[in-house]
Structure 1
Amino acid sequence: METKNLSRRDFMKLSSLAGAALTVGFYFPANAKEASVVTLDTAENLGIDLNAWISIDTSGKVTITNHRSEMGQGSFQSVPQIIAEELEVDLNQVNIVFAQGNNAKYGSQITGGSSTVRGTYKKLLNLSATAREMLVEAAAKKWNVSKAECYAENGHVIHKPSGKKFHYGELVAEASKLTPPTAVKLKDPKDYKILRKPMPRQDTPMKVNGTAMFGLDKKLPGMLYAVVERNPRFQGKVKSFDDTETKKVPGVKHVLAVKMSVFNTLREGVAVVADSTWAAMQGRKVLKVEWDDTGFDHVSTEQLYAKMNDDLKTKEGLSFKTKGNFAAAVEKADKKLDVVYETPYESHSCMEPVNCTAHYQDDKLEIWGPIQGPDWVQDLLSPLLDLPKEKIIVNMTFLGGGFGRKAFMDYPHEAAVISKVIKAPVQVVWTREDDTTQGPFRPGMVYQCAGGVKNGSISAFKAKLAGQDMDHQWPGAQKDSYLGSTTEGFLEPYFESIPHYSFSDVPLDVPIPVMWWRSVYASTNGFAFESFMDELAHEAGKDPLDFRRQHLGNERYQTLITKLEEVTGWKTRKKNEGYGVAITECFSSIVGEVVKVSKKADGKVKIDKVWAVMDCGWYVNPDIIRAQVEGSVIMALGAATVHATHFKDGKAVEQNFNTYKMPRIIDTPEIEVHVVDNDEKAGGVGEPGLPPFTPALTNAIFDLTGKRIRKLPFALEEV
């Protein structure tokens, strides 16, 4: 499997495919709702850039573009698996290349919101089926037989009556001259040979043997290396610096002040550039910087949460969604509840720290690195560097984790600025301390949840959020706008079954950069909403799973609940065992999780097992789904019980894994994942498994001990 960054034209030239291959791709004609499939020759004649393409050469080798990044979520397996199914080829015949950043050609290239498969699977199925049908037609014409007598299988077209066959490579020249059919029949999922099968990932061997190209693996002739001493306070400036001792360090070449864009502000620092990363780091250790930290608040964690809690009490929220009359309904309720939940700020802490390589050359800039949004990088840098977008070439490498952090554009900007000043290619490396302390972070949030139960059902439900709105940080943002993710994670049928509800938020404006974190606001909303749902069930005297069932009339949700009951033995659970459930919805997928806890001999609580039922609709590879859910559960476990980012005097306190601790293998419970089969549209997989874990855990602890946990993180050994 190749992972080179090539434009389509360069790829054709280098592999001599032009004129000796079948290359088909899709594009969107003006004002069209559906993509059209055309051949390379047609695209060239019309001046069209294909925005995704499949190319089959004379040996039968298949090459496809992946316009999204691969950060461990499995797109380098899922996309070829989709193609191979309808194209009728062995998965080992499919190579994949990273596309460069080009929004005009590919549309959005942001890898986030669990969108890679759910956003493109129908187009990819149609594209590969179209190529297959063109090959079948080409074979039929060569044999002078009816196309109906021919079929494709394992990279060949076979004539059913005679048994004669051509391999695809023998047909590409003729097939490339055909007009793609406008409508092709796709397989019924029951006939899949490759899709829905737990096939091993093709990028795993590369990552094991070291041939996979990550950001830090990029090397260029004459490349230098840089680290940056950034202001530890998020809006501070460089007042002055003394680089006398730094320049004495062997290998240090340049020391310069730099600024990089962080939302609507500039983060300032001093870059040390050397002939090795080690020399740059040693130079930074003896660098002396005086900071200007005036003009903004130096906040602490205590101040942040005091302000959020006070805002809940004293401010009207920005209304997001309402129905009925909550205030009147809650007054008439048989039982009422009004509680507050808190969730912490979190670091992304990707396995691979942030890094970027940039080479600025006169009228163009080229970038290589672990980047989740190459088109966003172009959009940001074009006006800042006064370069046309087409002169900013963004090459994606593998990412060692992203979780939203590497969709931000600060680190490519910083690398580009340094390269422009020193007039040489440079690789900027963030240390773990840089990555942990500089953010952006997941925002800490506080929730007031209030509600009432009447006749055993929810009669009124209110959620009021206080915390930072990520959208309010961008230049020109309207800070009086409500948080668009206020109900993220909340199950859609609840809006139908609950007669009176109110959702609103009170935005917090502080100088801490916050950013998407795996499952975004669902990661915090889910804890509040599903914890409160459990508390309402308790007030109603109902079994928590039955209580949810009675409010979720949709058949899809009923099926998921039934599956949860079956796999967990929910109805036969025993004494001295705590069971907790939570069901959340985000990125078009529904996930229900049950956590079982018990007490150890010393009386401490331990997690025995986690069950997860994932309904992501149409899906590709159950092994990838299981891996993503397992990873989500462990990430949620860390955020719930192990780590959090704190602030003191305007600076992040935790600096590395000695203080921002991670769950260990010994902390990881058994995780059993089940995938629902249905005919729904594809949903996300990389993120939706995270939100339900924490409320399922805290609900289980209540079931076992009677203790409600409403503030995160908490120490499991102290329950």
Structure 2
Amino acid sequence: MRADIESLLVAQREKQEQSFTVKPLSLTLNRRQFLKATAVGSCGLVVGISLNASANASSAKQAAEFNPNAFIHLQKDGSVLIYCGRCEMGQGISTALPSVVADEMEADWSRVTVEQAEGDQDKYGSQATGGSASIRTMYEPMRKAGAVAREMLVAAAAKVWATSPDNCYAENHFVINKTNQQKLSYGELASVAATMPTPENPTLKAKSDFRYIGSHLPRHDVSLVIQGKRQYGVDTKVDGMQYAAIVHCPVMGGTLKSVDKTEAMKVQGVTAVVEIAPMKVPFGSLGGVAVVANNSWSAQQGVEKLKVEWDRGEHGSYNTSDYMKMLVENVEKPANKITERGDVESAFANAAHKVSATYTEGHLVHAPMEPNASVVSVQDGACEVWASTQSPDDIQSVLSQFLGIDKKAIKVNVMISGGAFGRKFKCDYVQEAAAISKAVGTPIQLTWTREEDTRTGFYHSNSAQHIEASLDKDGNVTGWLHRAAFPSINTLFDPSVQFAPANAMSEVENHPYGIANLRSESGLAPAHTRIGWYRAVYAIFWGFAYGVFTDELAEKAGVDTATMLRRLYDSNSNPKQAEQVRRSRGVLDLVVAQSGYGKALPEGEGIGIAVHHSFLSYVAMAVHVRMKGDDFEVLRVDSAVDCGQVLNKDGATAQQEGAVAMGISLAKYCEVSFENGAVVNSNFHDYPVMRINDMPDVHVHFVDSDAKPTGLGEPGMAPFAPALSNAIYQASGTRYRSLPIQPMRT
């Protein structure tokens, strides 16, 4: 049998030497194209997309004799290299998606190596990583890519054994002959499999046959992380590299009036001072002054020695305290109508009871542990980038405009990010490094200080919401008026936007509560700083207002919050929202059952609950608190999650635990303040985040579902703060309607 395989290999190799070429395939992520492309090599099988054979992106690939760049690369020794096309930033996507490929391929996970794909949308489809979209958009293509490989390996074994593929099956890195139980390893079959036709519609596994999908699979790189050997973007070093630090105008739209670089140039190691002009694109630099040196410390010290004068421009008077008063005023009076159904005025006029409340939230900044950092080399009409990023394509687009070169001349090496949360979707820090490299003629590592990261970011919208509702004599909600005012992310692309548009206000119309009479209105809220995506985005303040107001409605109706939630869901008869209602009810019932909600508690303790549907996933949280004077301690959090099919329970659980940790931070500590147009905060001493001793006991409960998988990066954030506020009210009788929640703040 082995001789038969060798003769096939020799014949195949001779054929390849005479005629083998691999041509690039232009790809927008078309499922048929994704599955169809394949390439043939001398001792390996590649499945996914056929690419330029000379594009070597990894040491593992270079060591192989057959080196096309694709999602799956099987070598003759049986090792499998799987590329992750989406960006890893701690969320575990580089384990979850490759494990789906390995599962359908029937690969032995211990023989799989995972590598991050470089930035190339033609090869990998969209690589933009955000909006909890990676799992839901890539799950099926990754399954099919793995299934294609499995069926080609089975076909190869059938060819060797001169039998039908129906007489063979794949299992844990082998193909087995049903008739006589003979086995051939994947490595032995690789080159033969590469000659097999690519199946158009491979058969996917049944859920009962999953090996990795739905299991608890540790991160593929966990040992590197634990040992401190994982290479993040800020760790990048290249030959001939210089270091840069930067200072920006502290006010959006401000400009440089003058700079005196005399003292900066006297700092030992400093080689240049570079002025960077603003780039008028959404993710381009605000403009600033950079100091270049032969080490990072000298660059930072040089920035400290600069004497810079700024023109603060039209936003130089921005003050968040005054702005919040304006937002509250704008939601407590009639505003621009966005949507309406039924007759709210009539419902209010005939109400047995009315409830009204106003909720506010301050700006937030992303504060990842790894500040903005990139290495860029601009030379001879080409550019190479090493960056922690969520969107390599945006880097290529912005640099293409800035440098005046084709996107394909810009290579982006995607580095793992030490946190991102939406900040690293924007590539101003990469464009700045490119500007410096172009000016000085060497590769540049630009690293923002923590202070610069805090003071020159893209900030989560501050907001105010005012809700009024009517109840009948039985405690049923009959009418709902919801006004909101917040600077919209749309202002990044159109600064003239003054009101949150309909798409940003859609939460009110699409919320699963069954309310016959409803109106939403948008209040005036112009932007005075850069507004950007932050983990969970608008769901943070929508979830807070809905969650706390529902608790207030329950109190007025004389029922507990779970009962009020069920009433609101059960009153929704819209067939288009039936699934949304059912799954919201499902996580509510699960968290109530698992958390002990409603049980008797010691004095000074309380359990609050909240439910929110965002990014196509459903999360209910129960938060158990104990009061400590005017302060509080979170003892336990139960999180019930319906995200469809869970890919990796280990990673999914970590996402919920991370949402709790970040939720505590924004609920208890975090708020960015502006005075005279500039951010007041600078570092973790005045923008504190949760410390390890604040971490509660977290229990995550997943709904067993056959529904298509959805994401978990964002959805866990929204229900935490309202559940916490409701728990504090249960424990103390003090109602908090503002974020952050602070002792005696109302």
TM norm. shorter chain > 0.5:
yes
Extract unaligned runs of 5+ from structure 2.
1-15, 41-46, 56-67, 571-580
Counterpart in the other structure of 1:633: 660
CA distance in 1, matches of 2:19, 2:129: 33
- Aligned-pair CA distance for 1:103: 2.8
Deviations 1:649-703 (A, max 9, x none): 1111111111111221222221111111111111111111111000001111122
Task: Name whichever of 186-195 and 541-550 sits farther off.
Answer: 186-195
Give yes or no for contact 2:233–2:415 (8 Å, CA) kept in 1: yes
1:188, distance to aligned residue in structure 2 (A): 2.1
Corresponding position: 1:146 with 2:164 = yes
Q: Give the one of 406, 419, 423 matched to 1:388.
A: 406
Cα separation, 2, equivalents of 1:598 and 1:32: 52
SS in 2 for 1:643: coil
Distance 2:226 2:31 in 1: 44
Q: 2:584 touches 2:611 (CA, 8 Å); kept in 1?
A: no
Seen in structure 2, the aligned counterparts of structure 1 residues 644 and 481 have a Cα distance that, compared at 3 Å, is: closer
1:158–1:389 Cα change, 3 Å:
same
Pairs within 5 Å for 1:313-712 = 313-314=332-333, 316-317=335-336, 319=338, 321-454=339-472, 455-475=474-494, 482-488=501-507, 492-494=511-513, 497-553=514-570, 554-574=581-601, 576=603, 577-600=605-628, 604-712=631-739
Percent of residue pairs bearing the same amino acid type:
33
The SS at the match of 1:418 is helix
- CA drift at 1:203: 1.4
Is the 8 Å Cα contact of residues 456 and 540 (structure 1) preserved in structure 2?
Answer: yes
Q: Which residue of the partner structure matches residue 39 of structure 1?
A: 38
- What is the rounded CA distance, in whole Å, between the counterparts of 1:108 and 1:29 in structure 2? 8
SS state of the match for residue 147, structure 2?
A: helix
Shift of 1:304: 1.2
Deviation (angstroms), 1:500: 1.6
| RMSD over equivalenced CA pairs, Å | 2.8
Q: Deviations over 1:585-611 (max 9, x none)?
A: 1111100001112334x5754322111
Match of 2:134 in 1: 116
Q: How many Å separate the matches in 2 of 1:490 and 1:343?
A: 21
- The residue aligned with 1:278 is 297
The 2-side partners of 1:483 and 1:260 are apart by: 31
**Which structure 2 residues correspond to residues 80-99 of structure 1 after superposition, within 5 A?**
80-99=98-117
In the alignment, which of 194, 211, 218 is matched to residue 229 of structure 2? 211
1:407-443 Cα deviation digits (max 9, x unpaired): 1121111111111111111010101111111111111
Which of 287, 297, 312 is residue 268 of structure 1 equivalent to?
287
Partner of 1:65: 83
The aligned counterpart of 1:172 is: 190
Matched with 2:63 is none
After superposition, what is the alpha-carbon deviation per residue over 1:348-403, rounded to whole angstroms, capped at 9, x for unaligned? 11010111111111211111110101111222222232111111221110100010
Distance in structure 1 (CA, Å) of the matches to 2:661 and 2:634: 12
> 1:334 Cα deviation (Å)?
1.8
- Matched residue type, 2:357: V
1:64/1:95 contact within 8 Å kept: yes
User: Which residue does the alignment assign to 2:65?
Assistant: none
Partners of 2:397 and 2:222 lie apart in 1 by: 32
CA deviations 1:132-166 (Å, max 9, x no partner) are: 01101110111012222211111110112212111
Post-superposition offset of 1:125: 0.7
CA shift at 1:204, angstroms?
A: 1.4
Q: Aligned in 2, Cα 1:263/1:486: closer, same or farther, shift over 3 Å? A: farther
Query: 1:460: Cα distance to partner?
Result: 1.4
Cα separation, 1, equivalents of 2:497 and 2:732:
45
TM-score when normalising by structure 1 = 0.91
Deviation, 1:488, is: 4.3
Conserved 8 A contact 1:404-1:516:
yes
SS of structure 1 residue aligned to 2:291: strand
For 1:528 and 1:27, the matched residues in 2 are separated by 46
Structure 1 residue 278, shift from structure 2 partner: 0.6
User: For each residue in 1:157-202, what CA deviation from the matched residue of structure 2 results, as whole angstroms up to 9, or x when unmatched?
Assistant: 0112212111111112221112122222222222222221112111
Q: 1:18 to 1:592 in 2, by over 3 A?
A: farther
2:60 corresponds in structure 1 to none
For the pair 1:243 / 2:261, whether they are aligned, the reply is: yes
Q: Deviations over 1:459-511 (max 9, x none)?
A: 112221111101122158765671523244997432xx211222232252232
Instruction: Give the whole-Å Cα distance in 2 for the aligned partners of 1:155 and 1:489.
Output: 51
State the Cα distance separating 1:339 from its structure 2 match. 1.3
| 1:125 matches 2:152 | no
Contact 2:118–2:412 (Cα < 8 Å) also in 1:
yes
Given that 2:28 and 2:125 are in contact with CA atoms closer than 8 Å, whether structure 1 keeps it comes out as no
Distance change (3 Å), C-alpha of 1:77 and 1:169: same
Distance 1:171 1:67 in 2: 26
Distance 1:390 1:18 in 2: 29
Match of 1:224 in 2: 242
Show CA shifts across 1:513-566 (max 9, x none): 121111111011110111111112222222210111222243323322221121
Q: 1:646 to 1:472 in 2, by over 3 A?
A: same
- Partner secondary structure for residue 737 of structure 2: coil
1:5 equivalent in structure 2: none
After superposition, the Cα gap between the structure-2 partners of 1:698 and 1:94, relative to the gap in structure 1 and judged at 3 Å, is: same
For residues 373 and 669 of structure 1, what CA distance do their matches in structure 2 show?
A: 33
- CA distance in structure 1 between the partners assigned to 2:719 and 2:280 by the alignment: 31
Q: How far apart in 1 are the matches of 2:682 and 2:78?
A: 52
Secondary structure at the aligned position of 2:546 is classed as: helix
Q: Any idea what SS the aligned residue of 1:282 has?
A: helix
Deviation at 1:33, TM superposition (A): 7.9
Structure 1 residues 532 and 581 mapped into 2: Cα distance closer, same or farther (>3 Å)?
Answer: same
Q: In the TM superposition, what are the counterparts of 1:4-19 in structure 2 within 5 Å? A: none
Once the two structures are overlaid, the 10-residue window that deviates more, 214-223 or 556-565, is: 556-565
Letter in 1 for 2:165: K
Distance 1:546 1:18, change over 3 A: farther
Which one-letter code corresponds to 2:445 in the other structure?
Answer: Q
SS at match of 1:416: helix
SS of the equivalent of 2:658 reads helix
The 1:327–1:255 alpha-carbon spacing in structure 2 relative to 1, beyond 3 Å, is: same
CA distance, structure 1, for counterparts of residue 70 and residue 353 of structure 2: 57
Quick one: structure 1 residues 93 and 160, their matched pair in 2 at CA, closer, same or farther if it must change by over 3 Å?
same
Q: Whole-Å Cα distance in 1 between the matches of residues 740 and 390 of structure 2?
A: 28
Closer, same or farther in 2 for the Cα pair 1:30/1:253, shift >3 Å? closer
Q: 1: distance between equivalents of 2:485 and 2:92?
A: 35
CA separation of 1:534 and 1:451: change in aligned 2, threshold 3 A: same
SS in 2 for 1:436: helix
Range with bigger deviation, 85-94 or 571-580: 571-580
SS in 2 for 1:578: strand
CA distance in 2, matches of 1:603, 1:573: 22
Q: Is the 8 A contact 1:26 1:53 kept in 2?
A: no
- Structure 2 Cα separation of the partners of residues 652 and 341 of structure 1: 23
